[in-house]
Structure 1
Amino acid sequence: MPFNQTVPCSENVVTIQKKIASRYVFFGLVFLMYVISYGDRAALSIAMPDLGKEFSLTPVQMGWVSSSFLWSYFLLNLPSTILLDKAGARLIGSLAVSVWSFAMLLGGFVQTISQFLLTRVLLGVGEAPTFGVGATVVRNWALPKERGSVMTVLLTGMQLGLAGGTIAGAWLITFFSWRCEFIVLGGIGFVWALVWWMIYRNPVEKKTMTPRAVISFQEIKNLFKSKSFMGILSVQCTQNYLNFLMMSWMPLYLIHELHIDITRTGTRTALCYLAAAAGAVVIGKVLEAIVFRKDASPERRRFIVFICLMGASSIGTLPWFHTMQPILLVMSVAMACLIAANGANTALLTDLVEDGHRIGTVTGVTLTCSNSLGLLAPIVTGYIVSLTGQFDIAWYMCAVALVGAGLFSVFAVRETIRTS
Structure 2
Amino acid sequence: MSNPVEVSAHPRRWIPVGLLSLAALINYLDRGSLSVALPFVAHDMRLDPLQQGWALAAFSISYTLCQLPAGWLVDRWPLKWVYAGAFALWCIASAATGLAGDLAMLIFFRLLLGMGESVYLPGGLKFISEQFGPHERSVPSAIFDVGCKAGLALGLIVEVWVLRVFGWRWMFLSTGMAGMLWLLPWLLLYPAPLHAASAGRTPPNGKALLEILRSRSVWGMSAGYFCWNYFWYLLISWGPSYLYTVRGISLHSLGWVAGFLYLVVACSEITGGWLTAFLMRRGWSVTRALKSIIAMGFLLAMFIAPAGLAADRDLTVVFLYLSALSGVLISAILVVPQQYAALDQVGRCVSFQNLVGNFPGIIGPVITGWLVKRFGSFVPAFSVGALACLAGIVCYVWWMGSLKDVNRNISALN
Q: Per the shorter chain, which TM-score range?
A: 0.7 to 0.9
User: Cα gap change, 1:225/1:20 in structure 2, threshold over 3 Å: closer, same or farther?
Assistant: same
CA RMSD of aligned residues (A): 3.0
Alpha-carbon distance in structure 2 between the residues aligned to 1:61 and 1:254:
26
CA contact (8 A) 1:51 1:178 kept: yes
Contact persistence 2:7–2:136 (CA under 8 A): no
Equivalent residue number for residue 318 of structure 2 = 329
Cα distance between partner residues in 2 of 1:38 and 1:316: 26
Matched, 1:295 2:284: yes
- Residues 212 and 250 of structure 1: CA distance in aligned 2, closer, same or farther (over 3 Å): farther
- Which residue identity is paired with 1:188? A
Deviation (angstroms), 1:285: 2.8
1:365-404 to 2 correspondence within 5 Å?
365-385=352-372, 387=374, 390-404=377-391
**Quick one: distance in 1 between partners of 2:7 and 2:392?**
41
Q: Distance in 2 between matches of 1:122 and 1:300?
A: 38
Between the aligned partners of 1:219 and 1:340, the Cα distance in structure 2 is 31
Q: Which residue identity lines up with residue 408 of structure 1 in the other structure?
A: C
User: Contact 1:74–1:372 at 8 Å: present in 2 too?
Assistant: yes
Task: Please say if residues 315 and 399 of structure 1, whose CA atoms lie closer than 8 Å, have aligned partners that are also in contact.
Answer: yes
Matches within 5 A, 1:16-415: 20-52=10-42, 54=44, 63-203=53-193, 210-211=199-200, 213=202, 215-259=204-248, 262-286=251-275, 288-290=277-279, 293-321=282-310, 325-337=314-326, 339-353=327-341, 355-385=342-372, 387=374, 390-412=377-399, 413-414=401-402, 415=405
Q: Which amino acid aligns with 2:306?
A: T
Task: Name which of structure 1's ranges 55-64 and 176-185 shifts more when overlaid on structure 2.
Answer: 55-64
Kindly state the Cα deviation for residue 327 of structure 1 after the two structures are TM-superposed.
3.7
Q: Describe the SS at the equivalent of 1:144.
A: coil
Letter in 2 for 1:272: L
Q: TM-score scaled by structure 1?
A: 0.86
Give the Cα–Cα distance (whole angstroms) in 1 for the partners of residues 18 and 288 of structure 2.
27
Give the superposition deviation at 1:29.
0.9
| Displacement of 1:83 | 1.1
Flag structure 2 segments of 5+ consecutive residues without an equivalent.
none
Corresponding letter in the other structure for 2:180: F
Specify which structure has the bigger relative contact order, considering alpha-carbon pairs within 8 angstroms and separated by 6 or more residues: 1
C-alpha separation in 2, matches of 1:113 and 1:386: 28
Counterpart residue type for residue 349 of structure 1 = P
- Alpha-carbon deviation of 1:211? 4.2
What TM-score comes out, normalization by structure 2 length?
0.87
Q: Distance in 2 between matches of 1:113 and 1:323?
A: 42
Secondary structure of 2:385 counterpart: helix
Q: Structure 1: how far apart are the matches of 2:375 and 2:50?
A: 12
Amino acid at match of 1:133: G
Partners in 2 of 1:22 and 1:311 — Cα distance?
35
Asked if the contact 2:64/2:359 (under 8 Å) is kept, the reply is yes
What SS does the aligned partner of 2:137 have? helix
Q: Report SS of the residue matched to 2:176.
A: helix
Q: CA deviation at 1:52?
A: 4.9
Q: 1:247 to 1:342 in 2, by over 3 A?
A: same
How far does residue 257 in structure 1 lie from its aligned partner after superposition?
A: 2.4
- 1:106, CA displacement in angstroms? 1.6
Relative distance call for 1:328 and 1:357 in structure 2 (3 A) is: same
Q: Deviations over 1:216-254 (max 9, x none)?
A: 333322223333222211211111223233333333333
CA contact (8 A) 2:55 2:107 kept: yes
Percent of aligned pairs with the same amino acid: 23
5+ long unaligned stretches in structure 1:
7-12
Match of 1:10? Answer: none
Q: Which moved more, 1:163-172 or 1:279-288?
A: 279-288
